[in-house]
Amino acid sequence: MVKTNNTDVREKVKQLFTEYLTKRKHRKTPERYAILDMIYSIDGHFNIESLYTMMEETAKFRVSRATLYNTLILLLDAHLVVKHQFGTTSQYEKCFNQETHHHMICTQCGKVTEFNNEQLQADIEGAKLPRFRQTHYSLYVYGLCSKCQWKQTMKLNSFKRKSIAEAKSKVVTKSKADAKGKKTIMKKKQEINKNIKK
């Protein structure tokens, strides 16, 4: 994971969080600020578990999972963090001053990849929605990642190979059976011939 050194953004979100906490009469604890700062140094998505590990290992700040969870709720409410539902898992991401991006989600392995598409963005942001004022949007595209596509092709190929091998072995057994059948007929014919001669 790459760390961003955008001090301006980190200062700005700190200020916004202070305003939010003051307005809502929440306590301004050092834990809450440490969590915010950690989140704004992460590029990409995270969940409670990965954030917990990063707080301990990178920020060297021990916080309980409950504190993490409660702080995330405040940050979501303050519009400083967004929550994504990627299939069955929930992931979070910083959102202040972030470039709009879209997500591709692999339905097989759950891998999430971000992508930009200016045309797509312009189309959605410029879309005229009846009796509705657009503020922001999320776009998730579901499908198969290249690794899972490759795995699927390999599986399909081995299935094909198996079917061909099975079909071939059936042909061999059949021809063996045919040969056996022919031999029996020959024997019978010989016996009949013998009987006639007698």
Binding segment for Zn ion (CB under 5 A), chosen from 5-13, 49-57, 115-123, 137-145, is: 137-145
Q: Does 139 bind Zn ion (CB under 5 A)?
A: no
Site string for Zn ion, 112-131 (x = CB under 5 A): --x-----------------
Q: Which residues contact 92 (CB under 8 A, 6 or more apart)?
A: 39, 45, 46, 47, 51, 72, 76, 81, 82, 83, 84
What number of chain residues touch Zn ion (CB under 5 A)? 8
For residue 6, count other CB atoms closer than 10 A to its CB.
13
Q: Give residue 3's Cα distance to chain centre.
A: 22
Q: Which stretch binds Zn ion (CB under 5 A): 48-56, 143-151, 177-185, 187-195?
A: 143-151
68: how many CB neighbours lie within 10 A of its CB? 18
User: Nearest approach, Cβ of 106 to Zn ion (angstroms)?
Assistant: 3
CB of 110 to Zn ion, least distance (A): 7
Q: Which of 34, 6, 23, 126 is nearest to 78 (CA)?
A: 23
* DSSP state letter for 59: S
106 binds Zn ion (CB under 5 A): yes
Would you give the binding string for Zn ion spanning residues 66-95, x where CB under 5 A is met? ---------------------------x--
Chain positions contacting Zn ion, by CB under 5 A: 93, 106, 108-109, 111, 114, 145, 148
